[in-house]
Amino acid sequence: MEITVLVEALTADGFRATSLAPKGFVAEALTREAALAQLGHLVRQQFAHGEVVHLHVPLPSEGHPWHSLAGTWKNHPDAAEFEQNLLEYRSQVDADPDRP
């Protein structure tokens, strides 16, 4: 698992490493490497008792990806011919016993 980390030099001696995701872990140490190592320890400790999953949360503005296609064939001059060709093809496929 890779996470995005913000590494900042502190005004005093040291560095701060903050995980931007999945949780706002923060580690401070005297060196950059030590701050990152400490942050890695915190992340491993947290995830030892859980699992990582990917969750897609659609936003209200997104809509369904196929909505843009809905109704595009309505009143189209080729729609009836297309449907007839589709029915003929389906009949040919259904009539052939050797087709899977």
- Least-confidence region, from 26-35, 48-57, 91-100: 48-57
Whether the per-residue pLDDT at 57 is higher than 70: the answer is: no
Q: For residue 17, what is the enclosing H or E element?
A: strand 15-19
For residue 81, is it within any domain?
no
For residue 24, is it within any domain?
yes
CB of 32 within 8 A of CB of 44?
no
pTM of the model: 0.38
The domain in which residue 41 lies consists of 5-47
For 65, which DSSP code?
A: T
How many structural domains does the chain have?
A: 1
pLDDT in tens, 21-40: 667 788 899 999 999 999 88
For residue 83, is it within any domain?
no
pLDDT in tens, 65-82: 788 788 888 888 998 899
